[in-house]
Amino acid sequence: MKTLLVFDFDHTVVDDNSDTWVVKCTPEQDLPDWLKNTYQKGHWTEYMGRVLSYIGDQGIREDAIRTVMETMPYTAGMIDLLKFIGQNKERLDCIIISDSNTVFIDWILHAAGAQCAVDRVFTNPAHFDDRGYLDVQCFHSHSCAQCPVNLCKRKVLEDFLERQLMAGVQYQLTVYIGDGGNDLCPVKSLKTSDVAMPRKGYSLDRLISKLNAGDSRHLESRVVGWSSGLDILNEMNSLMKQSCL
């Protein structure tokens, strides 16, 4: 059986936030206060819709946005990790679950030649409309009270695993790699055979530490922190060797 690798994108695959990186394409490389002040907690995608509309109003079009997005830095060691995954597809499946959008992730993966490592991307759909404006929509609706209104990563992961099982694909284990608060919900769904890999010093790492410190609540999965893609690569090598024993 294969191993499933599940990645967050911002501050995990790449070492910044793609939704804030896009602001670098504006003349001021900043947004006006009136626009920043429209953000409401839990409604980031709706806010980004207004940001992208503002960028379009400035006359900034696809080529200029893409040029900026392709300069986004990958997290240290992550390109090597993605190459490793691409070279071991007979044993590894890889998906991304992200609150970014399809256009940004596609551009950034292709810029590094890393798209072959990734089997599926689950994120907010985006496209350029007839005006040349980038339009982004919410990924789905859900009933989870813990997650932003547009994306529950736990539901995405569980639905994917169910579809794979119906197609005859069962995974030996799932490795979840992320950094943010919205990664805690899917991490809670992991089984004892699975591995949660929070980025050290980031929100998910702190939340897991707090959760595991309590007597009444804990995670079933093993937890392995990481600082670079090479840490994850070492863990994957170890897991693959164990599965061969």
Question: Which of these is catalytic: 10, 179, 183, 194?
Answer: 10
Instruction: Determine the Cα–Cα distance for residues 184 and 194; give it in Å rounded to an integer.
Output: 14
Convert 9-39 to b/e letters by CB count within 10 Å (16 or more is b): bbbbbbeebbbebbbebbeeeebeeeeeeee
Within the chain, residue ranges assigned H as helices are: 18-21, 33-36, 44-57, 62-69, 78-87, 102-111, 153-166, 184-188, 203-213, 229-244
The reply to whether 8 belongs to the active site is yes
C-alpha–C-alpha distance, residues 194 and 7, integer Å: 14
Closest-CA residue to 9 (of 191, 209, 183, 185): 183
User: Known catalytic residue: 129?
Assistant: no
CA angle 75, 85, 81 (to 5 degrees): 25
Q: Residue 196's CB: how many other CB atoms inside 10 A?
A: 26
**Catalytic residue, candidates 8, 19, 99, 231:** 8
Residues with catalytic roles? 8, 10
